Amino acid sequence: MAGKSFKYVIIGGGVSAGYAAREFCKQGVKPGELAIISKEAVAPYERPALSKAYLFPEGTARLPGFHVCVGSGGERLLPEWYKEKGIELILSTEIVKADLAAKTLVSAAGEIFKYHILIIATGSTVIKLTDFGVQGADAKNILYLREIDDADKLVEAIKEKKNGKAVIVGGGYIGLELSAALRINNIDVTMVYPEPWCMPRLFTAGIAAFYEGYYANKGVKIVKGTVAVGFNADSNGEVKEVKLKDGRVLEADIVVVGVGGRPLTTLFKGQVEEEKGGIKVSDDFLHHINATIIVCSFLAFVVSSSSNPSELNLSRSISVNGAFISYFTILLEISTWRVFRDILAAIKSNEEGKTIDVYDYLPFFYSRSFDLSWQFYGDNVGDAVLFGDNDPASPKPKFGSYWIKDGKVVGVFLEGGTPDENKAIAKVARVQPPVENLDVLTKEGLSFASRK
C-alpha cells in the first residue's frame, strides 16, 4: 500500500496542532518527520478570535493576523514557517478512516498516510439542533460557530441582515460572546437559554446577575428558563421566527446556536476505550506514550493531572449534552505550550527508556465581551464567596468570587482584573491557602489574593 509516511502525524490543524508544531521544533524535530493533516483550508489559527474580533465592525481580525501562536504572545506561524521547518501542512484534507493497528490514515480523497506516532488533535464539533430533530432547524441563517467557514457565514449574514433581529440560542460561551458581537454590529439581540442564569456551569447566581444586568444595559434581551422547539421560515427558506417551549414566538433574521459541542472521536470508535464522550486515557497516560497514540483532549490531561481523578471536578466539564468540551479550552491558552512541552518531553524520555513525572495542571478559562474580560482558575466547588463591585451600572466594575472547599481556596474568578491581579488569582488557585472566616474573605476581596 503506497502513501506518504511520517514519524509523527497530527490529525487536526487547530490550536493544539499549531502550538504542538512550534514545540516539536523546539524539541528538534527534523525536516520531513512531522505532518499536520487538517480538514480546514488554512494553517492553524487562534480559534477564539472567531467569536470576538473576527465579527467586530471595527478593528476586525482577519488571517493571516491571528495564526497561532499570537494568542499567547508568541511567534505568528504563517504557512511559510511550516515549509521552512520541513513540517508538511496538509490542508483541506479530511481523514475519514484511522486504522490504529496498521498505523494508517485514509483521507476523503483516498490518500494514505502512515505514521509512527499519531497525535489526535481533532478538537470538537458543534451540537446542532437538527441532531435532536428540532422542527425547522435546517432553515437558512440558523448558524453555528466552530471553524473559520462558519465565521464567514456569520459575517455575511450580519452584512445581509443589517440592523435586523437575531436570536441567540444558548447561554454559555458562544451565547454570551456572540450576543455581544452581534449587538456591537447593531443587531437587535435576544438570548434564550433553559437555565435560571447564564453560564451556570461556571457562574454562580451572583456572578451571572452582573453579566445579565450588563447585557441588558447594552440592549440585549434575555429569555430564561425555556428552549427553542421550532423555527418558521419564509418562502426563501430563511428563518423568520423562533418558537419557544413556553409558547412565545420571537422574530429572527439570524439565529446563532451555541448549545455545546462534542469531541470528535468517531474515527477511533471501537479502537480506543471511551469515557463520557472522550477518549479514555489511563491515569499513567504519560507513561504510556509508547502506545504511539497521543490524545490532545482534556480527558487525556485531566486523568493524568492527578493520581486521584475523583478529586477533580469533572462535573463542571459535562455540558447539558454530556461532552467534555469546556476542557478543550485548556489546550488553548496558558497550557498549550506547556502541555505539548510535557508531551514531547515524555516522548523523548520514553525513547530514552526513562519515566516522567505526573502532569500537574491548573484549570483556566477566560472570556471577553463588550468591555468586559474575566479569568477563572482552579475548581468551582464548595462555598462561593462573592467580593468587589458587581454593579452592572458601575463605570469600572471589578468583582470576583472565591470557591472554598475543606477550608481552602480551590478556585478564583475575577472580572476586570489587571495582568498582575490575574496572576495573583492564578497563584492563589494553585497554592490553595487556608481560609478561616468567609465573612473576612468577603471583606478582604481581591486584596486577599494580591498579598498571597
Applying CB under 6 A, which residues contact ligand NAD? 51, 169-175, 177, 192-195, 227-228, 258-261, 319-320, 325-326, 328-329, 365, 367
Instruction: Determine phi and psi for 254, rounding to 5 degrees.
Output: -135, 140
Nearer to ligand NAD, 251 or 333 (CB): 333
Nearer to ligand FDA, 56 or 366 (CB): 366
Give the residue among 127, 136, 130, 166 at the shortest CA–CA distance from 230: 136
Check residue 38 for interaction with ligand FDA (CB under 6 A): yes
Check residue 182 for interaction with ligand FDA (CB under 6 A): no
Residue 74, all three cell numbers: 508568541
Q: Which does 194 bind (CB under 5 to 8 A by kind): ligand FDA, ligand NAD, none?
A: ligand NAD
Check residue 302 for interaction with ligand FDA (CB under 6 A): no
Which of positions 63-102 make contact with ligand FDA (CB under 6 A)? 94-95
Could you count the other beta carbons within 10 Å of the beta carbon of residue 117? 20
- Out of 4, 25, 27, 39, point to the residue binding ligand FDA (CB under 6 A): 39
Could you count the other beta carbons within 10 Å of the beta carbon of residue 233? 16
CB of 7 to ligand FDA, least distance (A): 19
Q: Where are the beta strands (DSSP E) in 108-211?
A: 112-120, 124-126, 142-143, 165-169, 188-193
Check residue 121 for interaction with ligand FDA (CB under 6 A): yes
CB 255 within 8 A of CB 229: no
Q: What share of the chain is helix, strand, coil (3-state, %, to 5)?
A: 30, 25, 40
Check residue 331 for interaction with ligand FDA (CB under 6 A): yes
Check residue 146 for interaction with ligand FDA (CB under 6 A): yes
SS3 180: helix
Q: State which residue has the least CB distance to ligand FDA.
A: 14
Which of positions 362-421 make contact with ligand FDA (CB under 6 A)? 366-367
- Out of 179, 319, 329, 401, point to the residue binding ligand FDA (CB under 6 A): 329
Q: Which does 16 bind (CB under 5 to 8 A by kind): ligand FDA, ligand NAD, none?
A: ligand FDA
Cα–Cα distance between 358 and 287 in angstroms, integer?
9
CB 145 within 8 A of CB 256: yes
Tell me the number of residues near ligand FDA by CB under 6 A: 33
SS3 291: helix
Q: Where are the beta strands (DSSP E) in 142-236?
A: 142-143, 165-169, 188-193, 221-224, 228-233
CB of 292 to ligand NAD, least distance (A): 28
Check residue 14 for interaction with ligand FDA (CB under 6 A): yes
Query: Which H or E element spans position 289?
Result: none
Q: Where are the beta strands (DSSP E) in 208-327?
A: 221-224, 228-233, 239-244, 249-251, 254-257, 261-263, 274-275, 278-279, 293-295
Check residue 16 for interaction with ligand FDA (CB under 6 A): yes
Q: In the complex, which residues of this chain contact ligand FDA (CB under 6 A)?
A: 11-17, 37-40, 47-48, 50-51, 94-95, 121-123, 145-147, 264, 267, 296, 328-329, 331-333, 366-367
